[in-house]
Structure 1
Amino acid sequence: MPFVELQTNLPAGAFTDDFVKKLCACAAATLNKPEERMNMVVKPGLPMLMAGSFSPCVMLSVSAIAATDSADKNKEHSAKLFEFLTRELGLPEDRIVVLFHALQPHQVGKKGTVMSFL
């Protein structure tokens, strides 16, 4: 049950339903998780400063159980996500940051319990 949150200063018009579906498919494939288990949110139009500049930028946060828990895995994930974001949004790599968060099953609630018990 991965959680992906894209925060950006790009305008809302840059993020169609098609883009969100493509991002979901990319993240699911990258993390080796089924698309129907993905949770996505895109937050456009934010006041953002990255590396001292207000130029267009993206911060992508990826949280998952057993998929983001090592440097080797995250290096592979990062390469695939950067390729997608640079291609789809036309941003250079230095205007994109990806944050990885390793989750434990007891840290994710669902159906009135936590994933440890599902």
Structure 2
Amino acid sequence: MPFVEVQTNLAGSRFSEDFLRKLSSCVAATLGKPDERMNVVVKANQPMLVGGSCSPCVLLSVSAIGATDNADKNKEHSAKIFSFLTGELGLAEDRIVILFHALQLHQVGKKGTVMSFL
């Protein structure tokens, strides 16, 4: 059950339902997770500074169980997600930062319990 959160100073109009679906599919594929388990949130129009500049930028967080827990995996995920974001949003790589968070089963609640019991 991966979670993707995009924070950006870009306008919300840049993030159509089509973009959300494409981002979800991209991240699902790289993490090896089913599309129907993905959760995506975009927070647009945020006051942001990345690398000392307020130019257009994206801070993307990816949290997942068993898919973001080591450097080798995250290096592969990063390459694929950067390729998607630079292509879709027209941003240079230095205007994008990705954070990876490894989740444990007991840290994700669903259906009135946690994933450990599902």
What's the TM-score bracket when you normalise by the shorter of the two chains? over 0.9
- Count of paired positions: 118
Q: 2-side partners of 1:51 and 1:83: how far apart?
A: 20
Aligned to 2:14: 14
- State the SS of the aligned residue for 1:41: strand
Deviation of 1:52 (Å): 1.0
Specify the alignment match of 2:66 in structure 1. 66
The residue identity in structure 2 corresponding to 1:77 is H
Q: What is the distance in 1 between the residues matched to 2:75 and 2:51?
A: 22
Q: Identity of aligned pairs, percent?
A: 75
Match of 2:89 in 1: 89
Provide the rounded CA distance (Å) in 2 between the counterparts of 1:12 and 1:106.
Answer: 33
Tell me how far apart the structure 2 counterparts of residues 65 and 12 of structure 1 sit (CA, whole Å).
29
CA RMSD of aligned residues (A): 0.4
Which residues of structure 2 form unaligned runs of 5+? none
Rounded to whole Å, the distance in 2 between the matches of 1:100 and 1:63 is 6
SS in 1 for 2:6: strand
TM-score calculated relative to the size of structure 1: 0.99
Query: What is the rounded CA distance, in whole Å, between the counterparts of 2:40 and 2:16 in structure 1?
Result: 13
The whole-number CA distance in structure 1 between the counterparts of 2:70 and 2:23 is 22
1:51 aligns with 2:68: no
* Counterpart residue type for residue 115 of structure 1: M
Amino acid at match of 1:109: G
